[in-house]
Amino acid sequence: MRYRVLGGTGIEVSVHCLGAMMFGAVGNPDHDDCVRIIHAALDQGVNFVDTADMYSAGESEEIVGKALKGRRDDVVLATKVHFRMGKGPNRSGNSRRWIIKEVEESLRRLGTDWIDLYQVHRPDHSTDIEETLSALSDLVHQGKIRAFGCSTFPAEEIVEAHNVAERRGLQRFRTEQPPYSLIARGVEAAVLPVCLRYGMGVLTWSPLASGFLTGKYRKGQPVDLSTGRASLTPARFDPSIPENAAKLDVVEKLVELATDIGCSLPELAVAFAAAHPAVTSVITGPRTMDQLEGLLKGASLTLDDATLDRIDEIVPPGTNLYQPDGAWRPPSLTDTARRRRPLTERAAG
C-alpha cells in the first residue's frame, strides 16, 4: 500500500481510502459483515476511513465505530456534516448551531474522542462561509477535530473560503472531496488546479462512476433497473437514454484498454484517479468482501504515459459524460429567481 501526506497536515494516509457509504441499510445491513470488511481493509494497509453522518441515517458511523474499537489510534478517520438528519428546521446545513451539535452526535456514533478530518459535505448558501470556518476552527482548538475540509465545492467557493480564512485569521480547508472518474473529469479544469495551488489534499469519490465502471454494465446487454444501484437511480443506467448509451460506448473502449494492459476495468478506474498529481487518496466504497478484494488488487497499479494518453483520446481531459453529483446542484441553477430579472426591470430596459 502506498501512502501520501494529507494536505500539508503531516498526516500520512493510504492512497486507497475505505468509503463507508455502503455500510448500513442503504447497502449492507449486516453489521458484523461490514466490520469484517473494514478489518480486512485495515489488515491490507488501508489506514484511511471516510464516512458521513447521513449515510444510512447515522448507521454507517455506528458500524465504523464498532470496527475501530481497539484500532482507533492506527486509523485516520474522516466524516462529514451538512445533509438533513431528522425532521424539523435547523437539522442540516453549515451553520455554527448545527455543526457544533452534530459533531457531538458523530463522535458518539463513532465511539471516539476526536475526528481526524471533519468535512463540510456540500456548500450552504444560506450560511456565511465565515460562520462555518469559525465554528470549525473552534472545534480544532477544542481538540474535537484535527483538521477540516470541504466536499464537492466549486473552485470559486474554495478560493473564497481561503480568502476569508486568511482575512479573519481562521483555520482553512485542508482538503476537498470531489467526484472524479474516467468518465467524470470535469474537476480537472479548475477544482484540482485550485487544490494544488492551495496545497490541499484531495480525496476523490465515485471512481467507478456509481457502478458504470465496474464492468457490470455493457453495451448490448440488458440492464435490470429494479436491483442494486440501478434501482436507486434508474435514469442513470437506463440504456435507452442517449447519455447512458454514450457512456456504454466509452466503457467498451475502456474495457479494451484495460485488457491490453492486463488489468480489470475497476483497477484501471482507481489507478487513473490516483495518477493525478492533485489527488491524495481515492475513496472506494465496497458493499461486500469480494468487492473490497477486487478493488485492492490494483492498489499497486500505476499507469504509464502511453496508457494515460489513450485515456485522454477516449475521454478528453476536463470532460464530464454525465452530472456526477446527483445529490446537489447550486442554487444559481435550481432557483429560477437567481437567473431571471424581475419583469418590470426587463420591461424598463
Catalytic residue among 3, 55, 217, 322: 55
Give dist(CA 208, CA 187) in Å, integer.
Answer: 16
- Yes or no: say if 63 and 98 are a contact pair by the CB < 8 Å rule: no
Contact 275, 15 (CB under 8 A): no
Task: Return left, alpha or beta for 286; rule: phi > 0 is left, psi -120 to 50 is alpha, else beta.
Answer: beta
3-class DSSP state of 310: helix
- Give me the half-sphere count of Cα atoms (radius 13 Å) on the Cβ side of residue 119: 28
Which grid coordinates are listed for 224? 435490470
Alpha helix segments (H runs only) across the chain: 31-43, 59-67, 96-110, 129-141, 155-168, 191-197, 228-232, 242-261, 265-275, 289-296, 305-314, 331-334, 343-348
Amino acid at 169: G
Sign of the torsion angle spanned by Cα atoms 134, 144, 92, 125: positive
Residue 55 designated active-site: yes
C-alpha cell at position 105: 452526535
For the annotated catalytic residues, the residue numbers are 55
